[in-house]
Amino acid sequence: MEQNNNYKLLEKPVTNPKHDRSRVISIAIKSNCGQYRYVLKRIWNTELEVGAFLCANPSKADHLLYDETVFKCNNLAVQWNWGGFYILNLYPHYSTDPKKKKQTLDTDIKNSHYIKKISERVSIFVLACGNGHKIRTSKLIEGISKEKLFCLRINKGGGFLHPSRINPEEFDRPIRVFGEEAYR
């Protein structure tokens, strides 16, 4: 049988040494009913820094499925030389329309628990939840050190720029929430 050389595998794959791992660990912590996602975790290098993004609510993504937000957070994490990231949300209810989010006392308690737990594991916590959530955001980040709090940028409305609204290549690093640079 003749081998077609046009489709030979590369003898040595091209990789970035900082991200040279053979697999990505991807975990979604969801409610039993599947309507709420508390944590999305993607880790590819445990030797590098791992950060977290706090967004508004999950739309579709889970441990296998990407959506626009996860795709862009992933690209940011790689650009920033992280070894992985977590996505947390102000509201854990899955919805492609944030106005239709559902809340229950039980899911709010669980969500707060996971935000606190993950914030203790990471050194960079990126606020990325958009406008209109100031009170909720303040409540959920209450115990997190200001030194850990970063954002992409602060919106004109005073909220934190959401990853789905950006071109990741334009953000070479997260910026401190409590610095002048956040308001540019």
Residue 10 belongs to a domain: no
For the chain, how are helix, strand and coil distributed in percent, rounded to 5? Answer: 30, 20, 50
pLDDT tens string for the chain (184 positions)? 445 554 444 444 445 555 555 689 999 999 999 999 999 999 999 999 999 999 999 988 889 888 999 999 999 999 999 999 999 999 999 988 777 778 889 999 999 999 999 999 999 999 999 888 888 999 999 999 999 999 999 988 888 999 988 898 999 999 999 755 544 4
Cβ atoms within 10 Å of 12's Cβ, excluding its own = 6
Instruction: Name which of 165, 171, 163 is nearest 73 in CA terms.
Output: 163
In-domain check, residue 6? no
- Whether residue 138 lies inside any domain: the answer is yes
Judge whether 158 and 134 are in contact, CB under 8 Å: yes
Q: 166 is in which domain, residue-wise? A: 16-183
Q: Is the dihedral of CA 140, 121, 174, 171 positive or negative?
A: negative
Q: Is residue 7 part of a domain?
A: no
What is the separation of C-alpha 58 from the centre of its chain, rounded to a whole number of angstroms?
10
Please check whether residue 9 lies inside any domain of the structure. no
Per the structure, the count of domains in the chain is 1
E-assigned strand segments in the chain = 25-30, 37-43, 50-55, 84-89, 125-127, 149-151, 175-176
Residue 181: predicted pLDDT: 53
Residue 8 lies in a domain: no
Please report whether residue 2 resides in a domain: no
Dihedral over Cα of 175, 178, 180, 184: its sign: positive
Whole-number pLDDT of residue 158: 87
Q: What is the CATH number of the domain that holds 128?
A: 3.40.50
4 in a structural domain: no
Query: What's this model's pTM, rounded to 2 decimal places?
Result: 0.85
